[in-house]
Structures are given as C-alpha cells and as structure tokens.
Structure 1
Amino acid sequence: MGFEQAALTAILGGMLAAFAAGRWRYDVVAMAGLMAAVAMGLVPADAAFAGFANPAVITVAGVLVLSRTLTRSGRFDAVAERLLAGVSGLPGQLAVLCGLAAAASAVMNNIGALALFMPVALWAAKRHGRSPALYLMPLSYATLLGGMTTLIGTPANLLVSRFRAAAAGEPFGMFAFSAVAVPLAVLGIGYLALVGWRQARTNAGLEPDDAPDDLPLYDTELTVTPASPYRGRLVAELERERHARVTGIVRDGRRVFARLAEEALRAGDLLLIRVDVAALHTLAASGGLVPPVPAQGDGTFAEAVVAPNAVLQGSCAASLDLEGRWGVTLVAAMRQQRRTEGRLADASLSVGDVLLLHGEPAAIRTAIDELGCLPLADRRIDPQPRRTAVAGAVFTVAVLLAALDIGPPAIVFSVGVLVLVVARCLRPSEVYDAIDWPVIVLLAAMIPLGDALQSSGTAGLVAGALLAEAGGVGPQAMLTLVLAVTMLLTPVLNNPATVIVMSPVALSLAGRLGLSADPFLVAVAIGASCDFLTPFGHHNNALVMGPGGYRFTDFARLGIGLELMVIIVAPLLIPLVWRF
C-alpha cells in the first residue's frame, strides 16, 4: 500500500468515525475530508470544487426546488385523506399511505415525500384512535423504497449514474432502476402493511403505570399558581397522579437543589417537567400549572418537527427570539432521547426534535415556514392554485423530457426552475430557500474523494481484498456481497457517501472479474437506499423518531424484515435485468 492509498484510507476512516459519532454535521465532515485530501495532494487543488459543477449535484438542486413547490400546495394532503377516509382497517390504510408516499418519493426527494404525508398519517392515527407509531415508521421506510425506483428519486441513484457515465460513457436512464426497484418497493410495502406494523412498538393499550416510559414526553416549564390544587403538596404526588417527571424547580430566580420528590410546591414555583402532551393540557386546564404562554390573546397550539435544513439547528429559543420576531412561544420540546438540562429556552435543538408552539395561526405558519420546520398538522391549502397547477405541469414535463432522453436531467430541471421564476410561481429567494444546502455541499465534497479512490488505486485494493476473502465464489455471490456491504455502510455514512465509497469498489471488482459493472452498480444503488436499521442513517428516520415516540431499537425491530427481503430478492432480480 503506497502513501496515497494509505492516506486516503486514513481520511475515509476518520470520516467514517465522524459520521458515526454524529457530533458534527455531515457536510462539515465531508468538507473537512476534502480539504485534508487536498492538503495531502490526493485531490488537485483546481479540482477540489469541481463537484459543485457536477450534473448530479445540479439535478439534485433542481429536483429539490420543484418538489418543494409542490409540497407547499396542500393538494396531496387532501387527496390522501379522501382515499384513506373509505378504509378503516390498519393494513389497508398503511397500503394506501405507503403506496402514495413511495410514488411521490419516486419523483421528488425522500424528505419532501415524508413532509407531504406525515400530517396525513397523524390525522389518520387521531381519527381512528391509534398510536402514531403504527403509521410513521412504515411511512418513512416507504419513502426510502420509493426513492430507489427512479434516477431522481434519491441523490444516491444520480451519483451511481455518474460513475457509470465516467466508466462506460453513458449514464443510467430515468427508469433504469425501476425493473428491479419497483418489485422490491411493492414487496416492501406489502410487508409493512401486513406484517411490519405488528413489530412497531406502540403506546396504545398500556397500563397507566407504564405510560411515562412509553408515551412521547415533552420538556416544558409550568408555573404553580396560588389557586393550584398542588400548592403545598409534594412533587412526588404530582408525578404519581399526572404521570409526569419533575426535573427541576426554579424558586425566586434560583434553582432548588434538594430531593425534589420530597419538596413541597409553592405558589410562583417554576417547574421544569417532562410530560406527555395530553397530560400537559390537563395540567394547564385543571391543575393550576400555567405553561409559558402570554396571559392575553387567544392563540392556538401547533406542533412542528425540526427538518434537516432548518435554520434553528444548534440554536435555542432564547437566541432565536421567537416571541420578538414572530410572536410565537416555545411551550414545550420533545428532544428525541436527550434530556433538557436547565431552562427550556436555552435547550439546543436538532433534527427530529418536535416543538410545541403557541401563537396566532398566521404567525405560527410564518415561523414554521421561515425556520424550515415541518408542520405536524393539516396544512393550509395554497391560496394560489395557478402556481400549483403550473408547478405540477412543469415538473411533469421535466420528468418526461428526462425520461425520453430529450435533454440531460441537470439541464431539464434547471430550465424547469427558470420557467417557474419567469412565470412568477417562485420568487428567486424561494429558490435558494428550497435547496437543502448541506446535501449539496456533502455531494460536491464527496465527488472529488470518489474520483481519488479510483485514480489512486485504493478502490482496486479494496476490490482485491474482497476477492481474496470471498475465494472463488461466482458472480451471484459477489453481487450479494457488494449489496450486503453497501447496506451495512449506509446507516453509518448516509447514502450519498456510501455510493461514493462503494461505486469505485464495484467498478474495480467487476473489472477484475471480467464482468459487466452494471449489476454491481445497481446493487450499490439499491443497497444505499436501504437504511432500515437506525434512526440516524437517513434524515427521514430521524424526523419520525420524536412524533412516533420511537426508541433506537424500534427501527431495527421493524426494519430487519425489509433488510432480509432486499438481500434475498435483489440478487435474484438484478441479473435478470442487468446481465453479468
């Protein structure tokens, strides 16, 4: 192993560890890895930022803008609710909901598809008295299944197509993955609707004593009023009767350091408390414990989840000045599996956190939109039906032009965005707001590293090691091995980074075996979309973790069946379409 190979392996190993730790944003990790490679001479300085001009990156940006225009219309919500209204059984509802989400995910990014149908899933759960946990994880997995079916469904497919174009001179077509991915998606949705939901941990039907451990809990602050029935009573009594957890008391501006369970509550005490949302409303209504909302004004409550591109990531309510800028109050926050230490306004927020906001409906809508969060309630229908109609027509034409190979996808979708701006369906500022810039930076930073993997011979080195370990197995077994390794990497690296690492290896492996690279590249594309084991490998899983009240292990409990299905069925289907 030469210096270049050893240095590149060390850089990728460090990036793998950083991605797995989850302490730094993935775009920061990718850019740090790229700069390290430039400093060591592994990537030429004049090629360091060539990824930003790559057609795959431009196509992703165009799809993000066009799909964002459609998601804001609210039309999909109404259609889905009408279809679900006539279906009462849970398997039927999941089949409809997951089928629609997968279809939407095939032509827009996965997060956009989830944003469309998450409010519908919560509406269905509430209407039929079921736990949201039965709907949300299957919905997230369905968007991942749908994304693998077309070229533009996920950035991973676009990156795989780029590697094929570089190696064979021709990229994959719009529906090149469909013959393999559509049957997998159909089987996967059938599994989710008939079997998978039974593996989802649900808080429905729990005994009262079990509720605090299983219901989604919010961190909030409640003030004890002079008329509160809990005034003068012990904290332990409040916790027992209301299934709450008092984590701190602020009295006369100072934190109380004592055995909280034995502390008697006084008027004016500020309780730092963890409680489910139903108990929170009950405490505010009849418990004499006041949440942090203005005394005057009616207002309303709304829930929203922090999205991957939200501007409030890493910020807190105090620094954002929610009340001063938008006139809304952060009443409570469900911060995944993290506890809030100190005051609610000082808590750092991250992807997947659920916020309970209070304010006037128009102010809440504006705040959610400008902060980049996803509403967990029915959306307001877009008051500009012309904009929705034009956006839908432009998107449809763009997909058809790309599918018929009339123009490169990057050009077609860029022209589509330009048409919407000229037609005044989009303001230029909305174009930039719609792009998920961390994803763009991740892709652009990883592409030169992928090129370095090939040019330095590191990919060939890994391919040789795989061949040595596998012995003399046949092409089918090697295809299964490539698929399995990709599926193991994607929960740690995320799917674009996994493709950047595995595609050069797949190309080198196919070359050493004297086989076509297409089956191996398709296996990489399929495997990179199969993050069914963890909440952090794909943002969609992180987004449903809070609203669904899931634990880390819940994802593997439901997803292991999907993983096994893919690893058994995909190696059988791929050679039927893409010959060795």
Structure 2
Amino acid sequence: MTLDQSFSFGIIIAMMGLFIWGRLRYDIVAALALLAAVLAGIVPYNKAFSGFSDDIVIIVGSALVVSAAVARSGIIEVALTRYGAGITSMRTQMFVLVAAVAILSAFVKNIGALAIMIPIALQMARRSNVSPSRFLMPMAFGALLGGLMTQIGTSPNIIVSRLRGEMVGEPFSMFDFTPVGLILTAVGVVFLTFFNRLLPERKGLSGTMEEALDIANYTTEAEVTEDSTVLGKTVGDVHRLSEGSAMVTAIVRASDRRSSPLPDAVLEKGDVLLIEGDPQALDRAVSGGKLKLHGDKSDKKNQKTEPGDEFGSIEAVIGETSQLIGLTAQTLDLSQRFGINLLAVSRTGQRITERLGEITLHFGDVVVLQGDMKQLPDKLRQLGCLPLAERKIRLGNVRKALAPVLILAIAMGLTAFGILPVAIAFFAAAVAMVFFKTLPLREAYESVEWPILVMLAALIPVSESLSSTGGTVLIADWLSGVARQLPPYGALMLILVAAMAVTPFLNNAATVLVMAPIAATFATSLGFKPDAFLMAVAIGAGCDFLTPIGHQCNTLVMGPGGYRFGDYARLGLPLSILVIAVGVPAIMWVWPLH
C-alpha cells in the first residue's frame, strides 16, 4: 500500500466515522474530507472544486425544483381525493397509498412524493379509525422502492449513471433502471400491502405543529364565475369537493339577497358563497370548484405588479394593539392602503355569518392575508399582526395543475429519446417551472436541499482520489479473493448486501460515490461486465429499510407515526431479504454478467 493510498483510505474511514458519530452535519463532514484530501495531496488544487460543476449536482438540484413544482400543483391530492374517497377497506387503502407514492417517486424526488401523500394518508386513517402508523412506514418504504424505477427517482441512480458514463463511455439512460426497479417495486408493494401487520400499531407523537396551532375553522368568501366547475350544480357538490370538511354557511345573491345553503340549492353565476372549514378543506373546495376568492388578486392580468412580485398567503393573529381591532376590511380599505387582501377569518368559539368585508375584527382573530411575500412581514408589523409559526397555506396561492406535469413529461421525453442530456433537460425544466410561474422563485430556491448539493460536490473529488491512487484496485482484489469461492450470483449479492449494510451509517449518495468504483473494478477483475454490479450498488444504496436515520423518508414518518428505532427492522428486515432474493436474479436477467 502506497502513502497516497493510505491517505485516501484514512480520510474515507475517518469520514465514515464522522457520519456515524452524527455530531457534524453531513455537508460539513464532506467539506472537511475534501480539505483533508487537498492537504494530503491526493486531490490536486485545480480539481478541488470540480464537483460543483459536475452534472450530478445540476441534475439533483434541478430535480428538486421540478419535484417541488409538481407537488405544489395539487394534482395528486385532487385525483386521490376524487377517486379515493369511497375506499373503506384498510387493505385497499394501503395498496392505493403505497402504490401511488411508489409511482409518484419514479418521477419526482421520493421525499417530495412522500410529503405529498402523508396528509392523504392521515385523512384515510381518520376515516378508517386506525392509527396512521399502519400507513406511514409502508408508504416510506414504497417511496424508496419507487425511486428505483427511473434515473431521476433517487440520487444513487443519478450518481451511478454518471459513473457508468465515465467508466464505459455511455451513462445509463432515463429508463434503464425501470425493468429491475419495476419488478422490485411491484413485489414490494404486494409485500407491504399484505404483511404490514408485522409492524406494531403506534400512536403519533403529540404536540405536532398542527395541534399546537389548534386553529378553529376559517370562514372565507368565494364567488361562482362562468369558469367555475360547480356552476349549475348544487351546494352538496361543493361539500363533496372537500369530503364534507368545508361547509357553505350562506349564499349571497344579487342585491345582497341571501339564500339558504340547502344541499340541493343550485348555484348560479355571481353567487357569493360563505364557506367554513379548515385551510386544507377550504383550498380543496375553492380550487376544485374553480371559485374566485374574495379579494384574490393573484391571477389578475391587469394587476400592476413589479416583475419580482410573488403573491402568496400567510396566517396571522390580530395583536392586542392592532389597528384592525374594531374595524372591517372595507372600512380599512386594506387592498388600496396596504396592498394586501383579506381571504379568510377564524374566531374561536363563534361561527361567522357576515360577509368577509363586513366582519368587525377582534383581538385574537386569526386571518389569512394575501399579498407580495416580500412585503407581507413589514405590512403585518404595521398592522400589529403576529405571523403564526410557518405551515403550508395554499388558500389564495397561485397553482397551475397541468403545466408542471407537462414540463416534466417533456423533459423526460427529451432524455428518453436521447435528444438532450439529463442535466440540460432537467435544468431547462427547472427554469421553465419558474418562468411559467408554476413555482414562485422564492419557493424554487427553498426547495433545493443545499447541504445535499454541497456534500455531493465535496465528495466527488474525494471519491475520485480512491480510484486515482489505486485504492479501488486494492479493495477489488481483496473482494475478488473472497468472491472466487462464490458462484456469479453470490458475487453480485455480496455487492448488493454491502451497499445495503453501509447506507444506514453513511448516506445513500456517499455510499454510491465510494462503492460504485470499487464494484466496477471488482466486476472487471472477475471477468464480468460492470453494469449489473453498478445496478446492485444503486439498489442497495436506495433500499435502507432498517433504520430511521439512513434516509429522509424514514425520518419524516418517525414522528407522525410514533415509531421506535427498532420498529423499522421489524418490517424492513423481511423487505430487505425480499429485495435481495428478487433483486439479484432480476439484475442478472436484465443485465447479463457476460
């Protein structure tokens, strides 16, 4: 072993130790490893920051923006709310949720797909009177499996594709991952649907953000226009859009004439509906019925706005010294004087029956205000309102359901047919999402997981140093000595199991950067093609079912599901064994070793 090889191994072992220790964030650990490699002379000065211009960083960052735009569109929630409301069997609900999150994870980042589906799972759990823990962990595992189906589904696939391009001259394409990934996903969905009872039933942790806010129902005002889908339909149809969680409390017709909101009352153009419900239910009713919110100016073509204006809405409570107290929105002329619009009001212990502009505001009322997100904090201070702890409020936010899906489909088509490289296609898709206003610029930057990108950029030259110093050859020779006693499927299984074992303690992206070059060299030394072994690394790194810390999907459901650390292995260990048993022959069938 040369001195440079010793430095390379020492830095990677120390880096893995710091990852396991967990006291330093992963991007800091990667940055320290890069600095150590530069100081040791195994990464040249002029190559130290080459990772920041690598296609991997561009693809991962762009995919996060595209995922955020698709998630924001609300199209998934609308589809599942419309077609899933009648499902009452828990097993059927489990299948629908796990299959939906798996399919969605193939096209958007799996953590984003899971975040979209969790509120729907919580609604189904309430309807079925079961603990959310029954659904959440199987959904997290389904999201991990679904990410295996395409190149952009998960970071390991993106990294393996790029490394394969360096090794054999041609990267994996968008759907090269689909045959094996689809087989594993199908088997996994069936397993999770029928064997989820291996998981103990837990109660979610109390004190979540939604419970802490504990806001009573809001009242909002929305108008039926000629474009509304509920025009000519009944009040009951509006109720059904929100699954009965939002109720029409009054109908205001021409000349301020009020009509009783009976379920069979037919809605006419120009009707103004007073609707009461929680923010999510109101959003489903308003967006699903294409109703026009009172005072909503986010989509007016003639509105005078600056190019950088981003309209959104925020929850705030009226403070003790607020100038809003005792006045109405009409009296204050909020829109003209302050450039903000009152969209909804909530008052504890009281049902509001007045029209929105006529409500006399009280201390402690909670309001939803709409305006330019850059100016809203200053406006709230002027009005004496206190912004609530941040949570997603979609009521009054501009959303375009089909545009982001169309942009994603075009990007995937361009890459699938080899017209554009993945990095260019998805960077263009991310720019298009912002340009066509399917995602506000502020949310685009917020959606990018910058620590992940920094970690990737720092680790790329560190992992390359293992190859440049000959370290991968040393490890591959040692593994070859072990694998020569094994049949071909045993050698492939060895790599798959090693990747699975390392990922919970390292990081799936870091695992691939370290193990993929070793696996390729190992395959070559045994006289095999590297493709199957690279696929094994990607699958192993993408299938962490044993701990809550190896992947963000597992961490995300731990609190809402009330899971304990050991719960993951109870369901995850049998699933891991199943992935190995099915994955090895599937890889060998799709990617022959010779």
- How many angstroms does 1:58 deviate by? 0.5
- Matched letter for residue 83 of structure 1: Y
Pair 1:187 & 2:215 matched: no
Mark the runs of 5 or more structure 1 residues left unpaired by the alignment: 204-213, 221-297, 303-324, 330-357
Inter-CA distance 374–513: structure 2 relative to 1 (3 Å threshold): farther
Inter-CA distance 90–364: structure 2 relative to 1 (3 Å threshold): farther
Give, in whole Å, the separation in 1 of the partners of 2:440 and 2:85. 36
- Matched letter for residue 523 of structure 1: A
- How many angstroms does 1:443 deviate by? 1.2
Equivalent of 1:501 in 490, 514, 520:
514
Inter-CA distance 470–64: structure 2 relative to 1 (3 Å threshold): same
Give, in whole Å, the separation in 1 of the partners of 2:99 and 2:472. 38
- How many angstroms does 1:70 deviate by? 1.5
How high is the TM-score relative to the length of structure 2? Answer: 0.69
Give, in whole Å, the separation in 2 of the partners of 1:359 and 1:42. 62
Q: Give the secondary-structure state (helix, strand or coil) at the position aligned to 2:152.
A: coil
Q: Give the secondary-structure state (helix, strand or coil) at the position aligned to 1:531.
A: coil
Q: Give the secondary-structure state (helix, strand or coil) at the position aligned to 2:153.
A: coil
1:360 paired residue number: 366
1:535 paired residue number: 548
- How many angstroms does 1:327 deviate by? 4.6
2:100 paired residue number: 100
1:199 paired residue number: 198
1:216 paired residue number: 205
Give, in whole Å, the separation in 1 of the partners of 2:478 and 2:117. 44
Tell me if the contact between 2:56 and 2:159 (Cα under 8 Å) persists in the aligned partners: yes
Q: Percent identity?
A: 39
Pair 1:67 & 2:61 matched: no
Give, in whole Å, the separation in 1 of the partners of 2:317 and 2:530. 55
Question: Structure 2 matches for 1:149-298, cutoff 5 A?
Answer: 149-195=149-195, 197-203=196-202, 216-218=205-207
- How many angstroms does 1:364 deviate by? 12
Tell me if the contact between 1:479 and 1:520 (Cα under 8 Å) persists in the aligned partners: yes
Q: Give the secondary-structure state (helix, strand or coil) at the position aligned to 1:406.
A: coil
Pair 1:516 & 2:529 matched: yes
Tell me if the contact between 1:299 and 1:360 (Cα under 8 Å) persists in the aligned partners: no
Q: Give the secondary-structure state (helix, strand or coil) at the position aligned to 1:493.
A: coil
Q: Give the secondary-structure state (helix, strand or coil) at the position aligned to 1:362.
A: strand
Pair 1:384 & 2:373 matched: no
Tell me if the contact between 1:491 and 1:536 (Cα under 8 Å) persists in the aligned partners: yes
Per-residue displacement from partner, 1:403-451 (whole Å, max 9, x unpaired)? 1111001101111222233334444433322211111111111111121
Equivalent of 1:431 in 426, 434, 444:
444
- How many angstroms does 1:513 deviate by? 1.0
Give, in whole Å, the separation in 2 of the partners of 1:495 and 1:364. 40
Inter-CA distance 374–360: structure 2 relative to 1 (3 Å threshold): closer
Pair 1:578 & 2:588 matched: no
1:294 paired residue number: none
Q: Aligned pairs, how many?
A: 437
- Matched letter for residue 454 of structure 1: S
Mark the runs of 5 or more structure 2 residues left unpaired by the alignment: 210-275, 281-313, 319-363, 378-386
Q: Give the number of the structure whose alpha-carbon radius of gyration is greater.
A: 2
Give, in whole Å, the separation in 1 of the partners of 2:279 and 2:168. 56
2:435 paired residue number: 422
Per-residue displacement from partner, 1:285-318 (whole Å, max 9, x unpaired)? xxxxxxxxxxxxx99899xxxxxxxxxxxxxxxx
Inter-CA distance 134–40: structure 2 relative to 1 (3 Å threshold): same
Give, in whole Å, the separation in 2 of the partners of 1:545 and 1:44. 42
2:485 paired residue number: 472
2:499 paired residue number: 486
Per-residue displacement from partner, 1:122-151 (whole Å, max 9, x unpaired)? 111111111010010011111000001100
CA RMSD of aligned residues (A): 2.9
Give, in whole Å, the separation in 1 of the partners of 2:317 and 2:591. 55
Q: Give the secondary-structure state (helix, strand or coil) at the position aligned to 2:23.
A: coil
Tell me if the contact between 2:519 and 2:534 (Cα under 8 Å) persists in the aligned partners: yes
- How many angstroms does 1:73 deviate by? 2.3
- How many angstroms does 1:359 deviate by? 8.5
Per-residue displacement from partner, 1:352-378 (whole Å, max 9, x unpaired)? xxxxxx9836379999x999x996x9x
Runs of 4+ in 1 over 6 A off after TM superposition: 298-302, 363-367
Inter-CA distance 536–424: structure 2 relative to 1 (3 Å threshold): same
Give, in whole Å, the separation in 2 of the partners of 1:468 and 1:157. 28
Q: Give the secondary-structure state (helix, strand or coil) at the position aligned to 1:72.
A: helix
- How many angstroms does 1:506 deviate by? 0.6
Give, in whole Å, the separation in 2 of the partners of 1:572 and 1:428. 45
2:110 paired residue number: 110
